[in-house]
A and B are shown apart, each in its own frame.
Chain A
Amino acid sequence: MRGAWHRFARERQAVVGLTAVAFILGGVIFGPFLVPHSPIAIEHAVLGYPQPPSWLHWLGTDLLGRDVLARALVGGRVSISVGITAMLIAIFFGTFYGAISGMAGGVIDALMMRIVDALFSFPTFFLIITVEALLNRFALGIIVLILGLLSWMSVARLVRAEVLSLREREFIEAARALGVPPLRMLVRHLIPNALAPVIVTATFSIGDNILAEAGLSYLGLGVQPPMPSWGNMLQDALLPAVRSAPWLVVTPGLLIVITLVAFALIGEGLRAAVDVK
């Protein structure tokens, strides 16, 4: 473990990524308390006319007179927590599914993998619309669940591949010979050793989820106003009326890019750390 941390710290870009993420997280967690404006209060006097950055509003205001900085910070909270939670759901479910499939082998494995294939083939967009319409609600939890459900399949595949190659290793043979029950073998031996690539994927999947949330919100199917998220700030910003207001367009987009780069740098660092070659 300590060896891994050293390898990680040696990758300069990974450290940069970690610092950046720390900065971003600090900003979105504590920032909203420091900004004097509300992210949801509208200003009747300037309805329809976004204001450029000024001393009063450091990043200007949007179409309804709301302070962009406040919205960006609170929106960051929403987008990032959506990204992380969805990732956790996907990792949890995908790991168990993939490990069981890999360990079981044979027909069960084939069946489980075919189900994964089937799910991969679905037009995800369609799935989202249907699920949201069925539930008729737009709670944040639903969106997180949907995003998690869309990404667990690749985790499952990955874990299964790892488990398949681990299965032939000596210590597993030994454990089997000793009569260790399958569930314990799964939890104690297989999964911890399969986790390495999973952690790397997890880091990248946070970014994927943030992007997915942005896409969903841009189409109006994600986080609903007045709660800001980087995705629905983009939706507001790309309205024809305000595309000429760069502070509206650039802010959420740039924040998304920077956050994703930061997480990706960490991910790459982790990959180098766990990949003993």
Chain B
Amino acid sequence: MIVFIARRLLAAIPLLLLVSLISYGLMGLAPGGPTAIFQAQARQLSPAARAEFIHALGLDKPWYVQYAYWLGNLIFHGNLGNSFVDHRPVVTKIVEKMPVTLEMLSLALLCTIAIAIPIGIYSAVRRGSAFDYAATVLAFASYGMPVFWLSVILIDAFAVNLRLFPTSGIASVGHERDPLDRLYHLVLPVVALTIVSLASWIRYQRAAMLNVLGELYLRTARSKGLSERAVILRHALRNALLPTITLLGLSLPGLFGGAYFVEFIFSIPGMGFLGINAVFQRDYPTVMALTMLTAVLVVLGNLLADVAYGLADPRIAYD
């Protein structure tokens, strides 16, 4: 197992290199460059000034040369470069935005798990019951909602009409450092994120639990003195762990994408929003840094999922 993990991590390095190369190449192909943005807001960028700007950013060299510079900068100096938009280090910008996104996503994940596991398990135990059907339909309904649609409805209902929560942002003026205020602002976004992620977690837990129950039935038939409920609870929670980890691993990379819509509608200055804006503004250094971050997360997430999957299903041999 250790060998397997080590080998996967080692194999990840050429993978990451490949990802960075392709990303950079794609960006070179995409029409429009940072100068274009610069020009838009200005009345006029003289050809000389434009040439100087391009040269200063190193954009006049072919993309593979630029890539070499970027890679060299990263490997030898540990430096991810400066953003084209405001010339600040990309790392600074990402580190600024990360806590909010992480906070929002972890809260959503916690809520999702807290709700999904009991429902999934109960659905499996009471399979075929009215509860099971209701849970199924509700799970699918929550999966079927476009997250931006749901967000808008939540805002209109709870923030505008009922005035229970703020409509946007992560802090009220004057309360920027107040953690309670922050939580207050995160309620609706977290609710939106939780609702749309519930479905897969509930279904997954239910399926995993059904598997366990299948085996448990044979065993409890021969057990002595232990009530069905105690056995189920003990085994259920233990067996809920592995699928949870698997799903966690698989959903890690997707989380950031889902966060984008929510960050956009709720005006939350997080990483998803930073990333998409960077793409629109052709802010190459920022896009590259975020791409690499996502790639690392994918590798780790898949590794996590595969390890958990392997532990759960001994039929899969790791060579």
So, do A and B actually touch in the complex, CB under 8 Å? yes
Task: Decide yes or no whether A215 CB sits under 8 A from chain B.
Answer: yes
Task: Decide yes or no whether A124 CB sits under 8 A from chain B.
Answer: yes
Indicate if the CB atoms of B144 and A256 lie closer than 8 Å. Answer: yes
Which residues of chain B are within 8 angstroms of A214 by Cβ–Cβ distance? 146, 149
List B residues 211-267 near A (Cβ within 8 Å): 211, 214, 253, 257, 260-261
What is the distance, in angstroms, from A84's C-beta to the closest C-beta of chain B? 16
Which residues of chain B are within 8 angstroms of A130 by Cβ–Cβ distance? 26-27, 29-30
- Per-residue CB contact flags for chain A residues 107-150 toward chain B (1 = under 8 Å, else 0) read 00010001001101111111101100110000000000000000
Task: Among A134, A207, A238, A257, point to the contact of B148 (Cβ < 8 A).
Answer: A238
Which residues of chain A are within 8 angstroms of B199 by Cβ–Cβ distance? 264
Q: Known interface pairs A134-B31, A234-B149. Does A118 touch B156 (Cβ–Cβ under 8 Å)?
A: no
- Per-residue CB contact flags for chain A residues 205-218 toward chain B (1 = under 8 Å, else 0) read 00100010011001
What is the distance, in angstroms, from A38's C-beta to the closest C-beta of chain B? 26
Which residues of chain B are within 8 angstroms of A164 by Cβ–Cβ distance? 316
Q: Known interface pairs A238-B149, A256-B144. Does A127 touch B136 (Cβ–Cβ under 8 Å)?
A: no
Indicate if the CB atoms of A215 and B261 lie closer than 8 Å. Answer: yes
Task: Decide yes or no whether A12 CB sits under 8 A from chain B.
Answer: yes
Of chain B, the residue at the smallest CB distance from A211 is B146
Task: Decide yes or no whether B152 CB sits under 8 A from chain A.
Answer: yes
Task: Decide yes or no whether B186 CB sits under 8 A from chain A.
Answer: no
Indicate if the CB atoms of A207 and B279 lie closer than 8 Å. Answer: no
What is the distance, in angstroms, from A163's C-beta to the closest C-beta of chain B? 12
Task: Among A114, A257, A264, point to the contact of B145 (Cβ < 8 A).
Answer: A257
Cα A238 to Cα B153 with chains together (Å) = 10
Task: Among A13, A211, A238, point to the contact of B137 (Cβ < 8 A).
Answer: A13
What is the distance, in angstroms, from B297's C-beta to the closest C-beta of chain A? 8
Task: Decide yes or no whether B276 CB sits under 8 A from chain A.
Answer: yes
Q: Known interface pairs A120-B253, A123-B290, A130-B27. Does A257 touch B298 (Cβ–Cβ under 8 Å)?
A: no
Cα A16 to Cα B246 with chains together (Å) = 31
Task: Decide yes or no whether B270 CB sits under 8 A from chain A.
Answer: no
Task: Among A117, A120, A125, A207, point to the contact of B143 (Cβ < 8 A).
Answer: A207
Task: Among B11, B23, B279, point to the contact of A129 (Cβ < 8 A).
Answer: B279
Which of B14-22, B79-87, B97-105, B171-179 has 4 or more CB atoms under 8 Å from chain A? B14-22
Which residues of chain A are within 8 angstroms of B299 by Cβ–Cβ distance? 117, 121
Indicate if the CB atoms of B149 and A253 lie closer than 8 Å. Answer: yes
Task: Decide yes or no whether B133 CB sits under 8 A from chain A.
Answer: yes
Q: Known interface pairs A130-B27, A134-B30, A165-B316. Does A121 touch B19 (Cβ–Cβ under 8 Å)?
A: yes
Indicate if the CB atoms of A260 and B19 lie closer than 8 Å. Answer: no
Task: Decide yes or no whether A258 CB sits under 8 A from chain B.
Answer: yes
Cα A24 to Cα B32 with chains together (Å) = 42
B interface, CB within 8 angstroms of A? 11, 14-15, 18-19, 22-23, 26-27, 29-32, 133, 136-137, 140-141, 143-146, 148-149, 152-153, 156, 199, 203, 211, 214, 253, 257, 260-261, 275-276, 279-280, 287, 290-291, 294-295, 298-299, 302, 315-316
Which 3 A-B pairs have CB atoms at the shortest separation, nearest pair first?
A260-B144, A121-B295, A257-B144
Other A-B pairs, 13, CB within 8 Å; known A215-B148, A257-B145 = A120-B253, A121-B19, A121-B291, A130-B30, A165-B316, A234-B148, A234-B149, A238-B152, A253-B146, A260-B143, A261-B140, A265-B136, A265-B137
